[in-house]
Structure formats: C-alpha cells, structure tokens
Copies of this chain bind each other. A is one copy, B any other.
Amino acid sequence: MSEAALLRRLFDAALAAADPAAMLKDFLPEPPKGRTIVVGGGKASARMAEALEAAWDGPLEGLVVTRYGHACPCESIEIVEAAHPVPDAAGEAGARRMLEMVSGLTEDDLVIALISGGGSALLALPEEGLTLADKQAVNTALLRSGAHIGEMNVVRKHLSAIKGGRLAAACHPARVVALMISDVPGDQPGVIASGPTVGEASTPADAVAILRKYAIDPPEAVARHLEKSGGCPAPDDPLLARVENRLIAAPQMSLEAAAETALAAGVTPMILGDALEGESRDVGIVMAGIARQVLRHGQPLPRPCVLLSGGETTVTVRGDGRGGRNVEFLLSLAIALDGAPVHAIACDTDGVDGAEEVAGAVIGPTTLARAREAGLVPAEELARNNGHGFFAALGDQVVTGPTLTNVNDFRAVLVP
C-alpha cells in the first residue's frame, strides 16, 4: 500500500468512528414502556435520526433541526432544515414545536435527543417575553466586547428556552437519553450545542455580572428577564434526574480508531492532541519539526510511525486564494519539510475545509518538486492562502462529499 493510500485509510477509519450510520446503534437505550420521542439539533442530527430509525426496534416520532442541505431521508422523524451560523425563523419554529412535543410526557416515555455541533444556532429559541432580535442585540454586543467564549455562553444560555438543560427539563418526567457528537475542545457536554440536555452551574445573576463587566447595556426586555428568571436548571435540579448524556463520537474516538488502523498496518501511532489549536501555518512548522526529530533521532518515537492530531487550527487570511485551515497547514508543512521523506493528510471530518466541498489533501516528499514543475511557487501560494488551488493543481485533494458528521479536523503525519 502506498503512503497516500495508508493515510487515506487512517482518515476513513476516523470518519467511520464519527459516522452515526456506523456506530449510533451501539449507544441506544432499551425501548420504553411508553412512547419514544426524538428531538435534537445540529449539523449531524438528520444523519443521526436516519441511523436511529435503521437501528430502533419500535415506534418513533419527533423532530430534529439540521442545517440547510444536511437532511436525510427519514420515515417517522421529521427533519427541519434551518440556517447556520446565523439563526432564522425556520429553526426557531422547529425548536418551538420540539418543546410542544415533549410537554405532557409520562414516566413511561423516553426522549432521545440527537445533539451535535451547530445545534446552538439551529435551535435558537428565545425564552418567553424575548425576541430573536433581543438575543441578537446582546450577541452582537458580546462579540464586540472581547468577552471570552465561556462568558458569552453563560449569557446566551440564560436567554434561551432550549439551551443549558432547558430542553431536557421540559421532558420531565420522561426519561431522557442524549446522544452527542462533540466538535469542541474538552468534549464538555454542556458546551456541545450549548447543552440542551445538560444542567448549567451559572445563574442569571452571573449573566448580569458579565454584561456589566463589559459595559453592555442590554435591551429592556433582556434586563427585565434576567432579573426575574429562575435561569437554567442546575446540574442537580430534580427535573434533570432522569437525564443521561452519552458521547457517541468525539475527536479522540476518531483518533483512536485511526491509531488502531495504523497499528494493524505495522505503523506505530502517537496521538499528540485531540484539540490542537494555533495558526495553521505555524502548526505545520511545529509538526515538521517533530517529524524531523523522528527522522534524525528516532524521537519521540522510532520509524515507521504516524503523528495523529485533531482540533481546529486558524487561518489569518492575508491573500486572495482559495483556502481552508487543513490545506493551509499542509502547504506550510510541505514547505517546512522541504522534500524530507514524510507524508501527511489533513482534512476536515465534515468534508468541507474552508468554503469548498473538498475535505483536505495529502502531501509527500515529491509535493514541492511537482508543484515547481507545474509552475507554482509554494511560498507564494501559501502567502496568498491558496491551499485549495495548490492541491487542485497537483491532483492531491481529498474529496469525500459532505459526511453529515463533524468531529473537527483530522491530521496524520507519517514517517515511513
């Protein structure tokens, strides 16, 4: 098997571990005495609903909200498509109907919540007395204020009728099993899609304090709401006593699957991190440094080996090229390796790196030479953030189509 083929096999193993069609069935609860209602939202929720219908023994009903274009054919579960990342009325209406469906359930009923990244925007339903415009005004002010993402989420949760455990609380007294796909560093359930089934430790008073800290003057309705609201249910709220959150896919699980596949191929894997961050081109330079250490000193492990990592790097856009963080990482890695005998793959597990329907690409020792033969100057292509253009010209793109799941980026650096 060629190095490129092995790398593609590792990526396919990572994708399979994150694909509801392959693994959701392993995480299902027993069917209940009463009804089974399906709810949830996120970029993978339709794919999860489809897998659930295929695996479930018994009647199902319910509704999930996914992104436009991410629907899957379902028989009993309604699929609503809505806007992401900026919420729209379709998502709001879907979320409202979802809450109606879970009201009036009994102890014999079961709610299966299908939660994945993007669910926060797709299920944007303001608490009673608030409008989407109120929430958006606060949101915009927070984004401008320099508040941390953690602080923003505290405020957002206390203005929502769904987030921070409210969806699960609305299901009481039914049993709730949430199946979650994580695309966030740390995999904290309360952070994935803002935790519709996860109790929240913060209070409305905390939200008020954060707004004050950043001198944000919220709309009148928001201020009044935070004053009188009981807030999200706490983690120990009795309304959440019958809620269970199950992580069914996460970056680490996909990296472990790739590691097993590498081992079976006789290549020693090392997982460096499931949530590596940093500017893509600099992450590429660091990874090249580690690969060179393998070549020169057999450290941190001897050849043949593969360095695996996940997470989400960032691209500071400087040029006018067609790019994405994975191809930017790869182009920088190739330049730093300068023809050294190292191969790599880097892809977004949702199948879309940046704005193109291309998951990523592969590189090898001949990448730079072939590029120069094709009239490309690699450093210039990197300077204009033209990763997709670069790898398209070489025929080294990795195309999967939309995978309808997302456990963030996948990187494998192979030193054969």
Report yes or no: A292 in contact with B271, Cβ–Cβ below 8 A. no
For the side of the interface on A, what is the size category?
A: 20 to 34
Report yes or no: B270 in contact with A289, Cβ–Cβ below 8 A. no
Of A14-22, A117-125, A166-174, A277-285, the one touching chain B: A277-285
Contact with B along A294-314 (1 / 0, CB 8 A): 001101100000000101000
Q: Please name the residue on chain B nearest to A380 by beta carbon.
A: B146
Given known contacts A282-B283, A283-B282, A275 and B289 CB-to-CB distance under 8 angstroms: yes
A137 within 8 A of B: no
Report yes or no: B286 in contact with A274, Cβ–Cβ below 8 A. no
A416 to B228, CA, bound (A): 45
Report yes or no: B300 in contact with A300, Cβ–Cβ below 8 A. yes
Report yes or no: A286 in contact with B283, Cβ–Cβ below 8 A. yes
A276 to chain B, nearest CB (A): 4
- A residues 96-135 touching B (CB-CB < 8 Å): none
Report yes or no: A297 in contact with B252, Cβ–Cβ below 8 A. yes
Report yes or no: A272 in contact with B285, Cβ–Cβ below 8 A. no
A90 within 8 A of B: no
Given known contacts A282-B283, A283-B282, A276 and B297 CB-to-CB distance under 8 angstroms: no
Given known contacts A297-B271, A300-B270, A300-B272, A286 and B289 CB-to-CB distance under 8 angstroms: no
Report yes or no: A278 in contact with B282, Cβ–Cβ below 8 A. yes
- A residues 239-285 touching B (CB-CB < 8 Å): 252, 270-279, 282-283, 285
- Neighbouring B residues of A145 by C-beta, 8 Å: none
- Neighbouring B residues of A286 by C-beta, 8 Å: 273, 276-278, 282-283, 286
Known contacts A252-B297, A289-B311; 4 further A-B pairs (Cβ under 8 A) = A185-B292, A272-B290, A277-B336, A279-B282
Residue positions of A touching B, CB distance < 8 A: 185-186, 252, 270-279, 282-283, 285-286, 289-290, 292-293, 296-297, 299-300, 309, 311, 336
